[in-house]
Amino acid sequence: MNDMRFVETRVTTNEAKFTAKDVQVYYGDNHAIKDVSIDIEDKTVTAFIGPSGCGKSTFLRCLNRMNDTIDICRVEGDILLDGEDIYDKKVDPVQLRARVGMVFQKPNPFPKSIYDNVAYGPRIHGMARTRADLDEIVEKSLRRAALWDEAKDRLNAPGTGLSGGQQQRLCIARAVATEPEVLLMDEPCSALDPIATSQVEELIADLRTRFSVVIVTHSMQQAARVSQKTAFFHLGDLVEYGDTGHIFTNPEDPRTESYITGRIG
Amino acid sequence: MNSKHILSAFDEDLESIQARISKMGGLVELAILDSIKSLTTRDVELAETVRANDKLVDELEAQILEDTAMVIALRAPTAVDLRVVLTVMKAAGNLERIGDYAKNIAKRTTVLAELVALEEASRGMNRMAREVQLMLKDVLDALVQRDAQLAADIIARDKDVDQMYNSLFREFLTFMMEDPRNISTCMHLHFIAKNIERMGDHVTAIAEEVIYLVTGERLDDPRSKGDITSVDPDLSDLG
């Protein structure tokens, strides 16, 4: 089935940004991700859906090695970013996370000014030599996150003083400030009202023209609205992965169908 | 796949629109039978009833469209649920058209009752209407039972209906050439035959929707045209 939006706005060249092969994740004895292989396309929004505990967030966190911070977590298999193994010993996780940014469920701005929140990444990665450079990056990032107009007159105010939706867009601005190639979003709208949700979704559509976005969401409708590719996880398995239009009208696997239609899976 | 939704009200909504389409289908089946019966028995009163009952069919269609709009707006159906809603919507439209054709037959019956009867032609018409009514009954079963095979059989059977129409077309031409006093009757009878043939097409359209509902795929090849009177020069030239 052709997804109308897909044909219309697809920017992708069908090139895999991420290639995961036979990925296993264990939390101690718990086998959380079983044999997952997936190609995540460049300049595409990919949604991970599935019931709680299905492994979608775990898998998302593998993509920028956030699981490294969990002692009992063990990742096996290959995850390649542009053909290079991100779990290779030579790879610096901090550098990796500049390339693969992340936005979390709860807005978590630093207890700093709006300006410093956005400037933090570019500063530690030495992306700006002068104050003027930094100003430019901050403005560009806030504009990309559709927050500039609301924030430009209060850049020195604390980021935590913004509304929930604004804070989440601030976190997105912070994530895009380091010019990532992939943006991972773990339930980015679950704490937001419908207007702020729409703003974030509009933003996702815009970000996709420059890089890949991978979003974990519990809202099936959100997955349908924002993504071109959808992956359904269940009990640690990647059950089905395909064009979003196809998944939502005619899924191949009965487990996918049960889940997206709201039946007991 | 589990058949029940976690949210049971969603199941109730879907069951209710499917119950309505079955009811609508039943009324339309009856309209086909009664309209053709009123024609063959020259029963003007029955024809009146058919015309009056078509209002019920129209009301049901309006109700179904309202229900399906509600389900889309409130439940955001996906996958098979979405296909159920889409199928029901299209089936309702097709049933409404079939109902209109039956009403038109009933209308012509009142006129034909005043004209000379053509027993032979009536018999052929009766057979054709009976076949279409059976196809409709089967397509409603296929819809309820999610039976794509039955739906495919119905599509194949529409060719028989088209054949019956073609031979009736020839008969009418012959009658008219034999005796010009038959022309008025034959003109009406021909419209009726064409109406029944169109009913078959609408049943076929519903059958195609059933296949989509069950398989999620649309049929690729367009239906072959069984009504050759518009393309066959031999038949066109006869007139």
- pLDDT at B228 (0 to 100): 72
Helix then strand count (H, E) for chain A reads 11, 10
Measured in angstroms, the CA of A148 and the nearest CA of chain B are apart by 34
CATH 3.40.50.300 given to domain A4-260:
yes
**Across the beta sheet with A73-81, what order do the strands follow?**
A30-41, A16-27, A73-81, A84-85
What are A215's two structure tokens? 């979003």
Q: Is B3 an 8 Å CB contact of chain A?
A: yes
Domains and CATH numbers, chain B: 8-238 (1.20.58.220)
What are A79's two structure tokens? 């995850």
Q: How many percent of chain A have pLDDT more than 90?
A: 80
Measured in angstroms, the CA of A258 and the nearest CA of chain B are apart by 6
**Predicted ipTM?**
0.74
User: Is residue B239 a contact partner of residue B170, using CB atoms and an 8 Å limit?
Assistant: no
Mean pLDDT of A82-107: 93
Q: Which of B3, B7, B79 sits opposite A249 (nearest CB)?
A: B79
Judging contacts by C-beta atoms under 8 Å, the chain A residues touching residue B5 are 261-263
In angstroms, the CA B191 to CA B44 distance is 18
* Residue at A108: amino acid letter: N
DSSP string, B181-234: GGHHHHHHHHHHHHHHHHHHHHHHHHHHHHHHHHHS----SPPPP---TTT-HH
pLDDT (tens digit, 9 = 90+) per residue, A206-255?
A: 889 989 999 999 999 999 999 999 999 999 999 999 999 999 999 999 99
User: Which A-chain residues 206-265 have CB contacts (< 8 A) with chain B?
Assistant: 220-221, 224, 248-251, 254-258, 260-265
For CA atoms B154, B157, B162, B165, give the dihedral sign: negative
In angstroms, the CA B62 to CA B93 distance is 10
In angstroms, the CA A105 to CA A87 distance is 25
Mean pLDDT of A59-79: 93
- pLDDT at B2 (0 to 100): 59
- pLDDT at B37 (0 to 100): 94
pLDDT (tens digit, 9 = 90+) per residue, B178-226?
A: 999 999 999 999 999 999 999 999 999 999 999 999 999 988 765 666 6
Return the H-helix or E-strand segment holding A184. strand A182-186
| 10-residue averages of pLDDT along chain B (239 residues) | 82 94 97 95 95 97 96 93 96 98 95 83 90 97 96 96 95 93 92 97 97 91 67 56
